[in-house]
Amino acid sequence: MAKQCAPLPENKVKESTIGFHHSVILGLADQIVAAVKSGEIKHFYLIGGCDGAEAGRNYFTQFGEMTPQDSIVLTLGCGKFRVRDHEYGTVAGLPRFLDMGQCNDAYGAIQVALGLANAFECGVNDLPLTLVISWFEQKAVAVLLTLLHLGVKGIRLGPEPPGFVTPNVFKILQDTFDLKLIEAEPPKELFELAGA
C-alpha cells in the first residue's frame, strides 16, 4: 500500500554543523585566546539543557538571535533546536555557532570552560561566559548540579525552575551561586556587556 502512495514532499530545514567535540575546540585554544585578547571575540554564550513544547521556550530562540557578532554561541543538549536555525556567521575565522552535542556531553563543555580558564590564568567565573540552561527533565538537573558542584556562578535557568527548586531552595542557590531564573525575554544588558 505504501508503494502506491505518492512520495511525501521534501521539507528541508536549515542545516547546521553539530557535535563539536571539546578536543576540537580546545585544539583552537590559541586562536580563540588571541581573538579574545585582540577584542575580536568578546563573549561566549552557552545555551544548554532540554527542550519542550510549552510556552516560554521562544526565550532561547530570542537569546541566540540577540547575541552580538563579536561572540560565540555554544550549545549543548536538545535545547539547540531552539537556536540552530539562525544564521550566526563567523567571528575571528571561527563559526559563531558551535554545537557541543547532547546533555550527555556536558563533560566536554566543562572541559572547554576549564581549558579557557587555564589559558587565561583565571577561574571559570572570571571568563566572559554566560550560561543559560533550559530546564525540562532530569538530565538538565544533572548538568545544573554538576555546574553548582564546580562552583560555577551566574547561571540562568528556566523557563520554569525544576520542582525541587522551592522558594527557600532558590534563595539559597541565588545567594550562594547567583542563580537566576530566566525572564519573559532575554535582558539586553547581557549582550551590551559583550559589546553589542
Rounded Cα distance, 127 and 44, in Å: 8
Q: Which three cell numbers stand for residue 47?
A: 545555551
Domains identified in the chain and CATH numbers: 41-192 (3.40.50.2030)
On the question of pLDDT at 195 being above 60, the answer is no
Exposure string over 105-116, b if 16+ CB within 10 A, otherwise e: bbebbbbbbbbb
Quick: pLDDT tens for 23-52: 777 778 888 889 998 999 999 998 887 666
Quote the pTM value. Answer: 0.81
Q: Which three cell numbers stand for residue 33?
A: 585566546
- Per the CB < 8 A criterion, the answer to whether 49 and 140 are in contact is yes
Q: Is 135 helix (H, G, I), strand (E, B) or coil?
A: coil
Distance CA 134, CA 158 (A): 5
pLDDT tens digit sequence for 71-83: 999 888 777 777 8
